[in-house]
Chain A
Amino acid sequence: MRKHWGKKAMTMMIVSGLILGGCSGNGNGNGNSNSGSEKENTPSAAAGESAVKTDGFPIVDEPLKLKMFTRIAPANGPFKEMPVFQDYEKMSNIQVEFIESPTDGFPEKKNLLFASNELPDALYRSALSPLETVRYGSAGQLIPLEDLIDQYAPNLKALMEEYPEIRAGITSPEGHIYSIPGIVTLGSARTDKRWINKSWLEKLNLEVPETTDELYDVLLAFRDGDPNGNGQPDELPMTARKGLQIVNFMAGSFGLDLQLGYNININDGKVEIWSGSERHKELLMYLNKLYSEKLLDQELFSHTEAQYLAKQGTGNTGLFYDQTNNNFLPIMDQYVGIAPQAGPHDDRLQSNVAPVPRDFGAFAITSVNEHPEATMRWIDYFYGDEGSTLLRFGREGEHYEMKDGIPYYTEEFLAIEGAQGKMTPYAGGGAPHIINDKVASFINPPQVQEAYEQLEPYMPEIRYAAPMFDEATAQQVNVLRNDIDKYFEEQSTKFIVGALSFDKWDEFQATLKKMNLEELQKIYQEAYDKMAK
């Protein structure tokens, strides 16, 4: 009897699986036709297309409605209450209804959107990955944008001509652009500054370190010279964000760059993944020396972001990295930004630099959108100074005032706690717009500017973003990198901390080789060759 019932249960489950499978298949179809009929109901659908103007406002004469899916950060309020979207709606005659998803759970919701085919007209601040972009693009759920950019996005087009790495970083192997990135031409917003404790240097009569050896001596003096004068050896000579960030910061002093979003040097068109190279070994040995002599924060691999920020604010830290001085404003006079150090082979490079197309996949248009031209014009505004100012600073007089042609938040506005996050979608990161020197008064105050001037001579000439692979290659890269990256990170950490002796270096190299590092290098080489063309 037991067997009999087991069988019955099995058939039941198979049958019900089939029935319900069928049902939801139908459901999908329904969903499609629904969204179709909705569009027919929009009165301006037919008229809208021809009415899109190539320049000037309003974008369309007949008001238009667009649905956009977006991420909303904890600091933000509802988008419809933001001055930028209220004012821009009047200006453009395009009304945007935002479907807001909290940052928590945003990736799942984004995936479900595509999986259930409940597409909005566009995705705003969507952080699509290159793989997602190619997937949904080649399946026809996202539409190619290159022609639209050409005709309806003068601001973006100009930027892409000025910075060829933008096009290289967002074009799929088939030559399509399925998403638009957030663009950062302001060098200072693309890299963390190196903040050193000036008052400690002065107290100990030390110069700013110019080489890695000098840096070592300075840190040694910080540790032993009691620069904070409390008679106790409690100074923290050097710290960084959790994990291997420190490797990225020091890499440039050892001739190691971070091109194509990976551990990659590009020399004369040749791509070299430097994991496991001699220079890599020298870098890790140097860091190991700092760590084992307690010059480097012993909590480097365990402290939290909050703890790291707190360390910046104590004034008891010798050297650390951050993009701005926001976290130590009360004691900012104690610190000064310095240049990267020259390494043993005279390499001197600021290696940890984000590419100009910094926030990949920030905006995309889907196949259900009936007004792609108008949508493209709508988003392009934010790639110009005027649009970016509106987005980042709000209304003149109410939120900002102009000084020397540059917007600054008003004192009154700054005084209201949490008001900025409610006012602009840039708070929380990843919004599709341009960040240049015209709209950066707040993130680039004089001290940060000076710190960047120190770095500027050592910035890489061009920073290639991570390349876009076709779906199969992307999958292959994923498989290779899963093992390689994990191994690289785990072993590098152990070498730095001293949990693994450098006698094991050969084994490390051999294992990387076994994991097919060469294959990965080949893939990146091909991607680079396509880009460079």
Chain B
Amino acid sequence: MKSAQTSAASLTPSQPKRGSGLPRKIAKRYDLYLMLLLPIAWYLIFHYGPLYGLQIAFKNFNPAKGIFGSPWEGFGHFERFFDSYYFWRLLWNTISINLFSLLIAFPIPILLALLVNEIRSKHFSKWLQNITYIPHFISVVVIVGILNAMLSPTGPINMLIEALGGTPTRFLEEAGWFKTIFIGSNIWQNMGWQSIIYIAALSGVNPQLYEAAKMDGASRLRRIWHVSLPGIAPVIVILLILDIGHFMNVGFEKILLMQNNLNLESSDVISTFVYTTGVLKGEYSYTAAIGLFNSVINLILLLMVNRFARKTSETSLW
């Protein structure tokens, strides 16, 4: 990989004459720009076009007056959010849920993909993939329903605890259990789906590399470590960067369904707060302000990770 890039770097500048370098480079690759024409136009129209809507975060949006006609509010909505009694709790829960997810839920699909890759029976491997990816299609309403059934005081888990001599716990009504259950069920639901991308990447790893490692007498674990992992490392890095770029977002639908006044202490996150106090009450400006706050933090995190990745691993967004 490294050699490929250096050769590219050394090849291109040597061809054109000095001075007219950039225009010639561009002219020579005009067809690449042609390819980009449609997608970039699309981005400008559908993403940058509506961007003027961002200003409502600094305004008191009134649908009747339109976006441009609504009165300016300045940073009032941001102050209101920061001054909210729950601000610190929201921030902490959001951060901690995401941090634990990154630490625990992010590596699991990778491990699963490596596992799938190590299974020699084609049949078994297909079954494993097919089964693990199905839960992705179960709607959150039902996932939460299943959690309720499993974890209720009379459900199978508590029955097992009682049989072992423990006392039953109301898992869903205890703040201390919330994050474990939330993240655990997320892993369960999505590990198969998320591993697909790694499985695809693993299928792109050159089999000759495995052969060579085998010749060198490397054990299976060593081959995973020295061939498989480096083979998908760029994909891992990019997905990690993208995940960190979503750091402040937590899907609100599932949390909302799992939330009750007894676990609110640890289940109250920014996204559910936005939904209940902003979206449901039609407070567009407040919602937009909190969304903007999240985006800015996300962007800063992404820029930092991207820079770090570029310096250490050669793989980065730009």
Q: Real complex partners, A and B?
A: yes
- Which residues in A have some Cβ–Cβ distance to B below 8 Å? 2, 12-13, 16-21, 23, 25, 28, 107, 111, 114-115, 117, 129, 131-132, 135-136, 139-141, 243-244, 298-299, 301-302, 471, 475, 478-479, 482-483, 486-487, 489-490, 492-494, 497, 499, 511, 515
Question: Are A111 and B80 in contact, CB atoms less than 8 angstroms apart?
Answer: no
Query: Which of B57-65, B123-131, B212-220 lies on the face that meets chain A?
Result: B57-65
Q: A114-B64, A243-B261 are in contact. List 13 more A-B contacts (CB 8 A).
A: A20-B45, A129-B281, A131-B281, A135-B64, A139-B64, A244-B261, A298-B170, A301-B260, A301-B262, A302-B173, A478-B283, A487-B85, A489-B261
B135 at the interface (CB under 8 A from A): no
For window 49-97 of B, CB contacts with A under 8 Å fall at 49-52, 60, 62-66, 68, 80, 84-86
**Complex CA–CA separation, A494 to B68 (angstroms):** 45
Among A28, A111, A487, A489, point to the contact of B282 (Cβ < 8 A): A111
29 inter-chain pairs at a CB distance below 8 angstroms, sorted by A residue, are: A12-B44, A12-B48, A13-B48, A13-B51, A17-B49, A17-B51, A19-B49, A20-B45, A20-B52, A107-B280, A107-B282, A111-B284, A114-B63, A135-B64, A136-B63, A139-B64, A141-B64, A298-B170, A301-B260, A478-B283, A479-B80, A482-B84, A482-B277, A489-B261, A494-B261, A494-B262, A497-B173, A497-B262, A515-B85
B199 at the interface (CB under 8 A from A): no
Quick check: B264 and A490 within 8 Å, CB to CB?
A: yes
> How far is A335 from B86 in the complex, measured between Cα atoms in Å?
44
Q: When the two chains form the complex, which single residue of B50, B64, B148 contacts A140, counting CB atoms closer than 8 Å?
A: B64
Bound Cα distance from A19 to B44, whole angstroms:
11
* Nearest CB on A from B283, distance (A): 7
Contact A301 to B261, CB < 8 A, known contacts A21-B52, A111-B282: yes
- Interface of B, secondary structure class, is loop
Contact between A13 and B44, CB atoms less than 8 A apart = yes
Interface centre among B44, B48, B64, B153 (most CB of A within 10 A): B64
Cα A136 to Cα B63 with chains together (Å): 8
Residue of B nearest to A475 (CB): B60
Within 8 Å of chain A (Cβ to Cβ): is B269? no
A17→B48 contact, CB < 8 A: yes
Interface mask (B278-302 → A, CB under 8 Å = 1, otherwise 0): 0011111000000000000000000
B113 beta carbon closer than 8 Å to chain A:
no
Residues of B contacting A497 in the complex (Cβ-Cβ under 8 angstroms): 173, 262
In the complex, B232 has a CB within 8 A of chain A: no
Bound Cα distance from A243 to B261, whole angstroms: 8
| Chain B residues within 8 Å of chain A by Cβ, number | 35
- The answer to whether the Cβ of B248 comes within 8 Å of any Cβ in the partner chain is no
Docked pose: A302 CA to B65 CA in angstroms:
42
Report the nearest A residue to B66, measured CB to CB: A28
Q: A499–B262 contact, CB under 8 A?
A: yes
Residues of A within 8 A of B261 (CB): 243-244, 301, 489-490, 492-494
- The residue in chain A whose Cβ has the minimal distance to the Cβ of B277 is A482
Tell yes or no: B202 within 8 A of A by CB: no
Binding site for A on B (CB under 8 A): 44-45, 48-52, 60, 62-66, 68, 80, 84-86, 148, 152-153, 170, 172-173, 260-262, 264, 277, 280-284, 318
Residue in A closest to B265 when the chains form the complex, CB atoms: A490
Closest to A511 in B: B85
Closest to A242 in B: B260
* Residues of B with C-beta under 8 A to A494: 261-262
B45 partner residues in chain A, CB cutoff 8 A: 16, 20
Bound together, the chains give a CA A230 to CA B226 distance in angstroms of: 67
Q: How far is the CB of B38 from chain A (nearest CB, A)?
A: 15
CA distance A135 to B65 in the complex (A): 10
Residues of B within 8 A of A515 (CB): 85
> Given contacts A25-B68, A301-B260, A301-B261, are A486 and B86 in contact (CB under 8 A)?
yes
Within the complex, the shortest CB–CB distance from A306 to chain B, in Å, comes to: 10
User: Inside 8 A of A17's CB, which chain B residues have their CB?
Assistant: 48-49, 51-52
Least CB distance, B284 to chain A, in whole angstroms: 8
Q: Are A115 and B66 in contact (CB under 8 A)?
A: yes
CA distance A172 to B318 in the complex (A): 56
Counting chain A CB atoms within 10 Å of each CB, which of B66, B86, B283, B284 scores highest?
A: B66
Find out whether the CB atom of A115 lies under 8 angstroms from the CB atom of B63. yes
Say whether A20 contacts B282, CB under 8 Å.
no
Looking at the complex, which one of B63, B264, B280, B318 makes contact with A135 (CB distance below 8 Å)?
Answer: B63
Nearest residue, chain B, Cβ from A244: B261
Contacts of A499 in B (CB 8 A): 262
- 7 cross-chain pairs, A with B, having the tightest CB-CB distances, nearest first: A139-B64, A493-B261, A20-B49, A115-B63, A21-B52, A114-B63, A483-B85
How far apart are A493's CB and chain B's nearest CB, in angstroms?
4
Q: Do A129 and B282 form a contact, CB below 8 Å, given A20-B49, A301-B261, A497-B262?
A: yes
By the criterion CB–CB under 8 Å, are B260 and A302 in contact?
Answer: yes
Q: How far is the CA of A519 from the CA of B48 in the complex (A)?
A: 43
Of the candidates A21, A115, A298, A492, which one forms a contact with B153 in the assembled complex, judged by CB atoms under 8 Å apart? A298
Assembled-state Cα–Cα distance A140/B69 (Å):
14
- Contacts A114-B64, A490-B261 known; A16 to B85 CB distance under 8 Å? no
CB distance from B287 to the nearest CB of A (A): 12
B62 proximity list for chain A (CB < 8 A): 135, 139, 471
Q: How far is the CB of A239 from chain B (nearest CB, A)?
A: 15
> CB-CB < 8 A to B63: which residues of A?
111, 114-115, 135-136
**Assembly CA distance A490 to B266 (angstroms):** 12
Could you say which residues of chain A place their CB within 8 Å of the CB of B284? 111
Among residues of A, the one whose C-beta sits closest to the C-beta of B261 is: A493
In whole Å, how far is A196's beta carbon from the nearest beta carbon of chain B? 26
- Distance between Cα atoms of A391 and B64 in the complex (Å): 32
CA distance A74 to B152 in the complex (A): 30
Interface centre among A114, A136, A482, A515, by most B CB within 10 Å? Answer: A482
Contact of A136 with B44 at beta-carbon distance under 8 Å, contacts A243-B261, A301-B261, A490-B261 already known: no
**A12 to B260 alpha-carbon distance, docked (Å):** 46
Q: What are the residues of chain B within 8 A of A131 when measuring CB–CB?
A: 281-282
Closest residue on chain A to residue B282 by CB atoms: A111
Bound: A114/B62 CA distance, A? 9
Most buried by B among A111, A140, A302: A302
Closest beta carbon of chain A to B15's beta carbon, Å: 18
A124 to B84, CA, bound (A): 36
Query: How many angstroms from the CA of A511 to the CA of B50 in the assembled complex?
Result: 42
- Complex Cα spacing A487 to B62, Å: 28
Chain A residues near B170 (CB-CB < 8 A): 298, 302
In the bound complex, what is the Cα–Cα distance between A490 and B276 (angstroms)? 14
Are A132 and B52 within 8 A (Cβ)?
Answer: no
User: A21, A107, A483: which contacts B86 (Cβ < 8 A)?
Assistant: A483
Which A residues are in CB contact (< 8 Å) with B51?
13, 17
Please measure, in the bound complex, the distance between the C-alpha atom of A101 and the C-alpha atom of B64, giving whole angstroms: 20
Q: Which chain A residue shows the least CB distance to B258?
A: A302
B residues within 8 A CB of A492?
Answer: 261
Residues of B within 8 A of A299 (CB): 152
Chain B residue with Cβ nearest A6: B318
With A13-B51, A114-B63 as contacts: A301 and B80 at CB distance below 8 Å: no
Q: How far is the CA of A522 from the CA of B51 in the complex (A)?
A: 40
Q: Which residues of A contact B66 (CB under 8 A)?
A: 28, 115, 117
Chain B residues closer than 8 Å to A136, beta-carbon distance: 63-64
